A and B are shown apart, each in its own frame.
Chain A
Amino acid sequence: MAHNGSGNDGEKGAAARRMPGEAPAAGGLGLWVDRHISWFFVLPAVFFLAAVLAFPIVYTAGLSLFRWSGAAATPPVWVGLGNFADVFAGDPGFRNSLFVTAYFTGVSLLVEVALGVGLAQLLNREFVGKGIARTLLILPVAGTPVALALVWRHMYNPSNGIFTWFAEILRLPPQRWLADSISVIPSLILFDVWQWTPLIMLITLAGLVSLPADIYEAAQIDGASPWQSFWRITLPLVRPTIVAAAMLRFMDSVKTFDQIYVTTQGGPGIASQTLNLYVFDQAFQYLHFGYASALLIVLFFVILAGNVMLASIRRGRE
């Protein structure tokens, strides 16, 4: 309600000073609108949120209490909390997808943050072609995920993909990449790291640029090595930026769909089926709309918990 603060001061003064020709169109109504203008600014977005956020949440919560195939002819059957009981009582698909999501998101987030901060440190200096280098590095973030996923899928092909050839050149044991249930997640993580490390780098770089140079000069005079000044000065100072970037990445990482759907469809078997893909399958493959809704509610709380955890890292040491 902070918007009321600036609401009335100067209101009458401005109205009184208004030239006759510049009066608002509909006199009283115009003034009333103007006084409550802050609500008119946000009203469209509020309607939007009601339609795309509030309605789906309420609808999903309701639907999660039914069993329904989605067919218009057969009405939903009330099952109460039955769907949730099924989710937690040992649906192996759910447990698997929870594990896959934690594995995929956790490892790629850690690698991306470490590499992204390292790359930002590398690029945080003046050199010829800096602008071009930054632009080229950011292309994986902008490229169409489906197209990139198709390319990666073929690069990972065990019989004729270029990665298979690289592995042969490096004399690594033969890899089956996406086709093997052990190596599929690491392979997907590598793809994700390639695609999203540049974003972490970019955000961290923006944080690094804003650091004052004189602290480093002082540290150097005091005899700090570059390594020490990175750990003792740079890292603590840019930590809020890094955590913000990590939170952003976490939100999107849990949502990852295109890349996995196009490369493996959750396979082989269910080895790379994240929660997101599991819900998708339950809803649009098996038409278990009620069960999928229950899973969505759970997924929402998983994301919320992850964000609260990351936020507490940010707050914890400040």
Chain B
Amino acid sequence: MMGSWMDQGRRRFGRRAFFYAALALVLIVFIFPFFWMAFNSFKTHEKILEYPPAFVFAPTLDNFKNVLWQTPVLKFTWNSVVIAFGSLAVGMALGLPAAYGIARYGHRTLALGILVCRMIPGISFLVPWFIVFRALGLLDTYTGLVIAHLVITVPLITWIMIGFFEEVPVELEEAARIDGCSRAGVFLRIALPLVRPGLVSAAILALIFTWNSFLFPLILAGVKTKTLPVVVYSFMTFDYLDLGGVYAASTLVTLPVVILVLLVQRQFIRGLTLGGVKG
């Protein structure tokens, strides 16, 4: 009796140990490239090129100093911020009423259109837009880039918010109607405040995906409106000799995203799963 109890305990402990070992392995695999990115950004160019890879070295901040003060990275950061928040704001203005309309009044065709929008590769918008933007003088402008990124934010926001609006109890809205609230008023004063948690999820996802976007600014932005990912990429092509700069710039563009995800992990994960289950 005693023996089997101890056996069981030992087996449970063994299973537990196995689980934590597997978990640790998985975590190391998925975190390693981030670690390596940050780690190498404190090495000199020569140290980065060393083989076998150096694990012990005198860390330096020169890469960050060079990137921040020798190149106009701060200006490009500002571009990224403007375009991310611009397309978030316009995306909300277009996507929220649409999501509400689909959830409450069942506009299925619109929902399908939004889904198709989500399906098509960015390159398919890019060819016609490039031609039209060039004709309208929208290349290399904030306006043009915000319009382009709506292709990311509007479907994302709409798709996530449909689920949240569907969960708002109809009784609440009906009660407000009886109290003399207009339908638009119901949307603004009853439904919107109730879906605030969803708004946070949608906003975070929209910000991160526009911040990360590369293809649109690669073609539609120029010297004035270039965003960070395009700049980080150009470090690789023109300044390949400075791998330290490449690593520092990569770290700088990724850091805000990582911090944001760590801060609002719950909302971020809910947004991702909702978009997934719905999609």
List A residues at the B interface (Cβ < 8 Å). 2-3, 6, 10, 13-14, 17-19, 22, 24, 30, 33-34, 37-38, 40-42, 44-46, 48-49, 51-53, 55-56, 59-60, 63, 70, 72, 119, 122-123, 125, 127, 131, 133-148, 150-155, 159-160, 162, 164-165, 168, 194, 198-199, 202-203, 206-207, 241, 244-245, 247-248, 251, 254-255, 257-258, 261-262, 276, 279-280, 283-284, 289, 292-293, 296, 299-300, 303-304, 307
CB distance from B35 to the nearest CB of A (A): 10
Q: 17 A-B Cβ contacts within 8 A?
A: A37-B182, A42-B102, A45-B98, A49-B114, A60-B127, A131-B265, A134-B269, A141-B272, A146-B250, A150-B247, A162-B36, A164-B51, A198-B30, A257-B121, A276-B123, A293-B127, A300-B120
In the complex, which residue of chain B has the Cβ closest to the Cβ of A258? B214
- Interface stretch, picked from B6-14, B67-75, B104-112, B137-145, is B104-112
In the complex, which residue of chain B has the Cβ closest to the Cβ of A13? B178
Let me know if A159 and B51 touch, CB within 8 A.
yes
Docked pose: A148 CA to B246 CA in angstroms = 11
B246-279, CB < 8 A from A: 246-247, 249-251, 253-254, 257-258, 260-262, 265, 268-269, 272-273, 275-279
Docked pose: A199 CA to B51 CA in angstroms = 34
Q: Is B219 an interface residue (CB 8 A)?
A: yes
Let me know if A133 and B269 touch, CB within 8 A.
no
Query: Which A residues lie within 8 Å of B243 (CB)?
Result: 154
Let me know if A145 and B36 touch, CB within 8 A.
no
Q: Is B171 an interface residue (CB 8 A)?
A: no
B51-105, CB < 8 A from A: 51-53, 93-95, 97-98, 100-102, 104-105
CB distance from B219 to the nearest CB of A (A): 6
Docked pose: A141 CA to B204 CA in angstroms = 13
Q: Is B168 an interface residue (CB 8 A)?
A: no
Known: A34-B183, A160-B48, A276-B121. 20 other contacts (CB 8 A): A2-B108, A22-B180, A24-B182, A45-B94, A45-B97, A127-B20, A135-B261, A139-B31, A139-B258, A144-B229, A146-B229, A146-B233, A147-B251, A150-B232, A248-B275, A280-B123, A284-B130, A296-B127, A299-B124, A300-B120
Let me know if B119 and A19 touch, CB within 8 A.
no
Query: Which B residues lie within 8 Å of A279 (CB)?
Result: 123, 127
List B residues at the A interface (Cβ < 8 Å). 19-20, 22-23, 26-27, 29-31, 33-34, 36-37, 40, 48-53, 93-95, 97-98, 100-102, 104-108, 110, 113-114, 116-132, 134-135, 147, 150-151, 154, 158, 174, 177-178, 180, 182-184, 187, 208, 211-212, 214-215, 219, 228-230, 232-233, 236, 243, 246-247, 249-251, 253-254, 257-258, 260-262, 265, 268-269, 272-273, 275-279
Let me know if A34 and B279 touch, CB within 8 A.
no
In the complex, which residue of chain A has the Cβ closest to the Cβ of B266? A131
Docked pose: A46 CA to B50 CA in angstroms = 56
Let me know if B30 and A146 touch, CB within 8 A.
no
CB distance from A73 to the nearest CB of B (A): 13
* Interface of B, helix, strand, loop or mixed by DSSP: helix
CB distance from A199 to the nearest CB of B (A): 6
Query: Which A residues lie within 8 Å of B19 (CB)?
Result: 122, 125, 127
Docked pose: A14 CA to B181 CA in angstroms = 8
In the complex, which residue of chain B has the Cβ closest to the Cβ of A39? B101
Q: A122-B19, A133-B27, A160-B50 are in contact. Are A299 and B36 (CB under 8 A)?
A: no
Q: How many A-B residue pairs have CB under 8 A?
A: 289
Docked pose: A53 CA to B128 CA in angstroms = 11
Docked pose: A10 CA to B121 CA in angstroms = 45
Let me know if B36 and A17 touch, CB within 8 A.
no
| B118 CB contact (under 8 Å) in A251, A262, A276 | A251
Docked pose: A301 CA to B93 CA in angstroms = 31
Let me know if B277 and A241 touch, CB within 8 A.
yes
In the complex, which residue of chain B has the Cβ closest to the Cβ of A52? B151
CB distance from B187 to the nearest CB of A (A): 7
Q: A143-B258, A203-B273, A293-B127 are in contact. Are A18 and B120 (CB under 8 A)?
A: no
Could you say which of B19, B27, B36, B279 has the most chain A C-beta atoms within 10 Å of its C-beta?
B279
In the complex, which residue of chain B has the Cβ closest to the Cβ of A122? B22
CB distance from A138 to the nearest CB of B (A): 6
| B276 CB contact (under 8 Å) in A42, A135, A248, A307 | A248
In the complex, which residue of chain B has the Cβ closest to the Cβ of A55? B128
Docked pose: A289 CA to B158 CA in angstroms = 32
Let me know if B233 and A56 touch, CB within 8 A.
no
Query: Which B residues lie within 8 Å of A140 (CB)?
Result: 30, 33
Let me know if B276 and A202 touch, CB within 8 A.
yes
Query: Which A residues lie within 8 Å of B214 (CB)?
Result: 145-146, 257-258, 261-262
Docked pose: A39 CA to B199 CA in angstroms = 22
Docked pose: A22 CA to B176 CA in angstroms = 13
Let me know if B180 and A56 touch, CB within 8 A.
no
In the complex, which residue of chain A has the Cβ closest to the Cβ of B121? A255
CB distance from A16 to the nearest CB of B (A): 10
